[in-house]
Amino acid sequence: MITIQETNVSGLYVREYVPQTPIFSRNGILFLHGYPGSQKNYDIAEHLALKGFHCYVMHYRGAWQSEGQYSLVSNYKDVELMLRYLNDKGYSEEKLSLVGASWGGFVALETFSKHSRFYKVILLAPFMMLDQSEKALQEGAQFLYSITKPSIKNYEKYQIVEDLKTIQENYNPANRLHILDGSKVLIIHGVNDTICPVEASVKLKSLFETPARLYQLEAQDHFLHTRELLYDFCYSFLKEE
């Protein structure tokens, strides 16, 4: 049995899944969703809470139920705000894991590169900015803009381009992955993903100081529809000491 609570953290909407009986000493999990319009993975949070984990699902500023104006760059500031909030609640980095989906996976990696003491990091079909060419940036901006409305208002293509350039310069973990412990990282990716192709995760797996774990799911696309299998992989990894 779990309790679901909603709270506002300096304008950010947060949904909290509280287990009746916390089982693990390092049981805090912060969920980072993808670009608004994709699912928020409430189902994974609920499943893991039923297994004894204390889960927090945040909405980035300007997305869904959070206040303010959305931008890709502000996502990182929102996560830092949540980390301070969780630390005040007793969740130091060592007791906390991250689950990032799609764009949220990229944000999770950058966060991990700055807070390497996290217990575990799970990346679900993660976006990766491995190709930093102008052509790749413009294609990425065009795709994001194409799915921006109606989920996000007042966020134009030129702003997306500017944000992606800022992220390339200031928030891209690619050059720091080699000093991170990949044994803390689990990547789950669908083989048929056409939004964030699995080849990026295959390359990502070996960029850490020690290799990450990668599960490639056959006949699965970007949204990983075989949820029971996803639950099992996440739970098994998080409960490992």
Cα–Cα separations (whole angstroms), residue 115 to 51, 104, 123, 215, 232: 26, 16, 16, 24, 26
Q: Average pLDDT over the chain, rounded to whole? A: 93
Is the distance from CB of 60 to CB of 78 less than 8 angstroms? Answer: yes
In this structure, the chain runs to a length of 241
Q: Within a domain: residue 228?
A: yes
Q: Within a domain: residue 164?
A: no
Q: What pLDDT digit, counting tens, does each position of 53-106 carry?
A: 999 999 999 998 999 999 999 999 999 999 999 999 999 999 999 999 999 999
Q: Within a domain: residue 24?
A: yes
Q: Give the total number of structural domains in the chain.
A: 1
Q: Within a domain: residue 167?
A: no
* CATH code, 77: 3.40.50.1820
Range of the domain at 225: 2-131+172-238
